[in-house]
Structure 1
């Protein structure tokens, strides 16, 4: 409360005087003269003195133009006095905000009235049902009650006619000699005929009256609609006919209405977010009560009031009643969504920072169904850093989610078509754009999803060959041992970014296995692959080897639990059952409210990611189409070319032999190169002779004269005699047979390529 002193001040400032209902200033020792009453109230003397001081300050600072306003402030106002001809204007009409609130209320009221009208149509109070009742009622009125009178006169005429006929028969057959009886019979006949004639006449009159009355009422009921339809059609065609038909329908529904005796279900209007209502505390209480999370008499404690963000989504933080755990609400996600009037995928529940606290987020529309924007890697101008955090994609709030894969391993799972390949691109592309990362990829599907990365890979298995993949794992294990040997020499326990930048052998390596199920379920190689992969995952993290596996349902029959439990990053895309989701996220995740079954089919690439924190997070992977993937891989190729980290590609048989560094291996390398050169020349000659492509491809050369090979060795700077060559390359009796060689008139002895490869395999374990 601001206090304004009664003594003059040099530069007084206008302040708002506010009195709380239970607060009053202390009474002064001397009471000044009372000031005029303010708005009909009598304040204590000190309060009046302060208000009078405020008025004087206002009068001084507002100037002469506002003296009238100051006088108005002094004048008492009777709030009960108003002009009967001018109704009171509500306060909201004086502000744009008030009009907006009123308009919104009227709009929602009209929406709810329309929804009630729609729901009412399916009941006995609907307009169609009313029209049917009105049609029956009007038809019954047209028929009227004259039919009963007509039936009565008809019955009387029939009886009278029968009696007249009987009397006539009696009079006819009475003998004439019985004069008295004859006369009596004739008199009775005359009377009966008179009565019958009168009854028939009355019946005819009743029928005529019935026709006339019905015609008049039919004209009243059916005449106006028929006239309206004919007139409307004649004047404006089908539009007029439609209007007349609607008017007729309305009239019939009006005639068939009846007053409601009880409140029906359609009159109830459930407040829900799905209908556009505002989230508030009463709605939250009713929703959690309807979902059986809290009792009918219990309420929530609102920690953060419901707020609407710019995306049109509602968020709130609530505390459950004492004794109610948060996991009870998390398990009731579908029930809560139903009470909100939205889909389960639109509701995100997460445990707060204390027991019993729930963070609630409800989106306006189905999340992750809009077209994905360009991924952040498209805007990356420099190389990526795979040692840092990797952008995965936005969560339901639109916030970017990133993870670190250093010393980690991961598992990506989901049903077919859930977007595993597109989701994996977020990690693969980030690794490709870091020229320091070594890529080893294996495609168990063999469908070509990983083929665009082939040029950047040092090891690539794209044929879904379990034997080749096992050989790749063996090479990875050998590399892991070499890394640990170097770390021991350096006195380090694990690979860091500084060590990787200094020692090329310790560069980060990403082993990505797509459709792991194909490899691990192979009868011959499955158990060996599982054992080798488990060894690599458990021991390779500290050596700088990051392993990611992607598969469908990774059950124990597909991925051994001893291997699956070692994969620390879990990403569950859309699954068909909660059990399938649990095989990815871990047992109990679905019961805790984190089930990938709630991911709808149109939410491709979305799923629960459990990489960091206490709970999984719903996230959709950044999407890169084929053109964007090609553009990013082209950029990655250029980065690796500049850094000198491009893979050497597939080495020839001769190159592999030369890498052994032995004299005999050098001789065998020259022989292999000579066979390769002559075979290429033979293919070129076959193509020049006009042979077909298939014939050119099938052209091979498996034998060369010894003199040709000796000349090639001499040209390569190697002094090798025929005896030494024969001792090195052992031949069978069949291979020693002489053959015809172009340019020689006689047959000469030579060597087969099989003999060369046989020696290379025996001495060095190499095959062509």
Structure 2
């Protein structure tokens, strides 16, 4: 059964479930209760009456409680929260109170803005003061003026009639005694009436003057006294306070009488004014942005929620027939409707289970994202080596969630306007690669500004002079290495490089080719097309061989990066751009029209960009920031890791060392010749820094070769180092009395380049 509990609220209809225990009797009745009816019921009228009586007593609340188990509550409360809402624990924490304070502050700001908007209407305080002043002035004048004007009019008429009657009586002949007497009597009567009217006019005029003065004092005396007293007490500040009090009184006197329904709270609701996100607000905003029609509404899949950061999030379904991309194209219009900046509004397709083409996920930040303090990068807390084969953490998204990507068998493009943070963003990938001692670094700095210079000591190949010719040679070496890798893979019977395979065969270790400011290389008149072609070859074929290529530039348009190359770069990171077209050159054609434009990124959001890596939609991410000191610290750690692993690059080798590595006798001879020239040149510079040795006698060279254990005759040396006609000219040498036959350094270097293709 159910019971309607008694409460102070008569409208409450909550029913509390109770259990009737047989044997319980009314509180005021001490007689033995009637026996309970048998199971299955009975046809006995007395038993039915007992059941009805028992039910009546229960409904009246006269049943006594039965003693039960003391370990259990006698009156369990099935609604312990009553009418109070469920408040999460974080709302009572410091962040929760900060959120409440923020809501209160935004509500006060919104109230002030509403007050300002109100001032332009007839309910504004200035309009009320003007209306109050007119009302007070009308009251001061009063109604005596109307009566005074009426009696004055009557007095004028009576006086005119009296003058006319007196004139008639005066000029009536005495011979006409009867008419003259009648005229005199008429003049007397009109004169009496005129005198009475004039007297009444004077009396009313005096009465009006007294009433006017009294009301004038009542109306204007207190304001004048307040202003004068304020001035006497506090000078002009007090007079100003008195004037404000007078203004308040006048506005109160002129308050508008509301004859129609006016609801100031029913004006436009916006998140920027501190209003809560609700279903009606969402409908109004989407209608204002022309995403849905005036008679359409959204289907709320996840009710709007406020998180600890003061941001609102929700998941909605658009009306049938409206795709999600229509709402994403109206990103700017929706942000305006919500009353926030474009960068504060994040619109993305929901990819959870059961997602559909018209389902959207909205996230509206409280403040402009990515403008606060930057948290320390995760690589600083890394105790050991990084794993470049795994996922690389890039940075947080607008929700504060860490975004990571995998670069295995991938290539990337980073672009944005100058100052957008390309170098700092690239450090997240470069430092992760540096901290993995297995990764081979090949870096090219087209800027020539030294951003990549701290990594030079860890690189097997480094081009920092912004020299297109040197970069072209670097690409030749990278392509040769790619061919060698594929040859080894074919020999091993493998299709592509894996982590286990690279650990077993050091020749197949991951190689990162990072090109900064690609524009300088690809726009060079002599090497630009060659570089583009070689890069395209390396990007398209090098992925399976373990070669990862990343390019960074300001605007990767078709004039900077050929589309055939740009389309092969699978990871796109668009930092702040000046135009939607520039953003599309990075993310791909049509991205801005679909609602993904790096132009919406504000200048204050340094390091933030739209990252298009593995998902179907770009994600706004702010790269983890590492200061110069932190970069130095991490690179020192990377150097130690590579030194322990034995993967530090050997550094640049001298020409003599390269000749010795050939293993040929002629290479050994040429190596000794190069060393001899170097030794004499160094000795000469010890005495004179500007001195240079570019020629040595043949006898000196032969003696040095024999001292190195190489038996070679002058004739054999002449056949190995071929001289031109003018180079065979004899020269004087130190203390010799005659000129000697010798070899210039240029002939030795020419022989090295001709035979082995090596240059100094």
Which category describes the TM-score, using the shorter chain as reference length? 0.7 to 0.9
Deviations 1:226-260 (A, max 9, x none): 55445334434554344223223334544555446
Cα 1:567–1:560 change in 2 (3 A) is same
Aligned partner of 2:625 in structure 1 is 623
- CA distance in 2 between partners of 1:280 and 1:93 (Å): 20
Residue 722 of structure 2 aligns to a residue whose secondary structure is: coil
Aligned partner of 1:78 in structure 2 is none
1:549 aligns with 2:551: yes
- CA distance in 2 between partners of 1:638 and 1:565 (Å): 38
Aligned partner of 1:294 in structure 2 is 292
Q: 2:570 aligns with which of 555, 568, 574?
A: 568
Q: 1:508 aligns with which of 486, 507, 510?
A: 510
Residue 514 of structure 2 aligns to a residue whose secondary structure is: strand
Cα 1:232–1:715 change in 2 (3 A) is farther
| Maintained 8 Å contact 2:728/2:741 | yes
Cα 1:267–1:676 change in 2 (3 A) is same
Question: 1:214 Cα deviation (Å)?
Answer: 10
Question: 1:450 Cα deviation (Å)?
Answer: 1.1
Question: 1:578 Cα deviation (Å)?
Answer: 2.2
Cα 1:466–1:215 change in 2 (3 A) is farther
Q: 2:463 aligns with which of 430, 449, 461?
A: 461
- CA distance in 2 between partners of 1:38 and 1:630 (Å): 87
Deviations 1:343-385 (A, max 9, x none): 2212222212222221222222211111111111111111111
- CA distance in 2 between partners of 1:764 and 1:96 (Å): 80
Q: 1:448 aligns with which of 435, 447, 450?
A: 450
- CA distance in 2 between partners of 1:705 and 1:214 (Å): 131
- CA distance in 2 between partners of 1:323 and 1:39 (Å): 61
Cα 1:136–1:451 change in 2 (3 A) is farther
- CA distance in 2 between partners of 1:638 and 1:94 (Å): 58
| Maintained 8 Å contact 2:721/2:751 | yes
Aligned partner of 2:708 in structure 1 is 716
Aligned partner of 1:663 in structure 2 is 665
Q: 2:753 aligns with which of 738, 744, 761?
A: 761
- CA distance in 2 between partners of 1:417 and 1:521 (Å): 21
Aligned partner of 2:270 in structure 1 is 272
Cα 1:491–1:227 change in 2 (3 A) is same
1:389 aligns with 2:387: no
Aligned partner of 1:284 in structure 2 is 282
- CA distance in 1 between partners of 2:664 and 2:612 (Å): 52
- CA distance in 1 between partners of 2:456 and 2:442 (Å): 9
1:56 aligns with 2:65: yes
- CA distance in 1 between partners of 2:758 and 2:610 (Å): 46
Deviations 1:618-666 (A, max 9, x none): 2111111111111111111111111111112122121222222221221
- CA distance in 1 between partners of 2:679 and 2:86 (Å): 92
- CA distance in 2 between partners of 1:277 and 1:39 (Å): 52
1:707 aligns with 2:737: no
Q: Which runs of 5+ in 1 are unaligned?
A: 10-25, 43-47, 71-90, 154-207, 687-695
- CA distance in 1 between partners of 2:398 and 2:687 (Å): 65
Question: 1:142 Cα deviation (Å)?
Answer: 9.3
Q: 1:530 aligns with which of 518, 529, 532?
A: 532
Question: 1:756 Cα deviation (Å)?
Answer: 1.1
Aligned partner of 2:193 in structure 1 is none
Residue 393 of structure 1 aligns to a residue whose secondary structure is: strand
- CA distance in 2 between partners of 1:230 and 1:246 (Å): 13
Residue 425 of structure 1 aligns to a residue whose secondary structure is: helix
Q: 1:597 aligns with which of 590, 596, 599?
A: 599
- CA distance in 2 between partners of 1:515 and 1:209 (Å): 96
Deviations 1:40-62 (A, max 9, x none): 957xxxxx9xx95xx634x4456
What is the TM-score when the length of structure 2 is the normalising length?
A: 0.77
Question: 1:597 Cα deviation (Å)?
Answer: 2.0
Aligned partner of 1:360 in structure 2 is 362
Residue 360 of structure 2 aligns to a residue whose secondary structure is: strand
Aligned partner of 2:30 in structure 1 is none
| Maintained 8 Å contact 2:107/2:275 | no
- Within-5 A mapping of 1:91-130: 113-130=111-128
| Maintained 8 Å contact 2:110/2:274 | no
| Maintained 8 Å contact 1:575/1:597 | yes
Cα 1:527–1:306 change in 2 (3 A) is same
- CA distance in 1 between partners of 2:104 and 2:718 (Å): 104
| Maintained 8 Å contact 1:572/1:608 | yes
1:749 aligns with 2:741: yes
| Maintained 8 Å contact 1:419/1:605 | yes
Q: Which runs of 5+ in 2 are unaligned?
A: 2-16, 25-38, 77-81, 153-205
Cα 1:256–1:660 change in 2 (3 A) is same
| Maintained 8 Å contact 2:446/2:517 | yes
What is the TM-score when the length of structure 1 is the normalising length?
A: 0.76
- Within-5 A mapping of 1:677-692: 677-686=679-688
Question: 1:392 Cα deviation (Å)?
Answer: 0.9
Cα 1:130–1:741 change in 2 (3 A) is farther
Question: 1:393 Cα deviation (Å)?
Answer: 1.0
Question: 1:122 Cα deviation (Å)?
Answer: 3.5
| Maintained 8 Å contact 1:116/1:269 | no
Residue 56 of structure 1 aligns to a residue whose secondary structure is: coil
Question: 1:212 Cα deviation (Å)?
Answer: 11
Aligned partner of 1:559 in structure 2 is 561
Q: 1:739 aligns with which of 706, 731, 737?
A: 731
Aligned partner of 2:328 in structure 1 is 330
Q: 2:308 aligns with which of 297, 307, 310?
A: 310
Aligned partner of 1:607 in structure 2 is 609
What RMSD over aligned residues (CA atoms) do the two structures have, in Å? Answer: 4.3
1:370 aligns with 2:380: no
Deviations 1:478-530 (A, max 9, x none): 11111111111111111111121111211111111111122212222211111
- CA distance in 2 between partners of 1:301 and 1:491 (Å): 56
Aligned partner of 1:198 in structure 2 is none
- CA distance in 1 between partners of 2:728 and 2:52 (Å): 137
Count the aligned residue pairs: 661
| Maintained 8 Å contact 2:331/2:347 | yes
Residue 735 of structure 1 aligns to a residue whose secondary structure is: helix
| Maintained 8 Å contact 1:116/1:267 | no
Question: 1:216 Cα deviation (Å)?
Answer: 9.0
Residue 620 of structure 2 aligns to a residue whose secondary structure is: strand
Aligned partner of 2:489 in structure 1 is 487
Deviations 1:668-717 (A, max 9, x none): 1111112222222222223xxxxxxxxx3x43221223333223222322
| Maintained 8 Å contact 2:677/2:694 | yes
Question: 1:225 Cα deviation (Å)?
Answer: 4.8
Residue 647 of structure 1 aligns to a residue whose secondary structure is: coil
Aligned partner of 2:317 in structure 1 is 319
- CA distance in 1 between partners of 2:370 and 2:735 (Å): 74
| Maintained 8 Å contact 1:387/1:406 | yes
Question: 1:410 Cα deviation (Å)?
Answer: 1.0
- Within-5 A mapping of 1:15-30: none
Deviations 1:54-87 (A, max 9, x none): x634x44569x99xx99xxxxxxxxxxxxxxxxx
Greater CA drift, 608-617 or 507-516: 608-617
Greater CA drift, 344-353 or 264-273: 264-273
- CA distance in 1 between partners of 2:585 and 2:87 (Å): 56
Q: 2:651 aligns with which of 631, 649, 652?
A: 649
Residue 727 of structure 2 aligns to a residue whose secondary structure is: coil
Question: 1:113 Cα deviation (Å)?
Answer: 4.1
Residue 505 of structure 1 aligns to a residue whose secondary structure is: helix
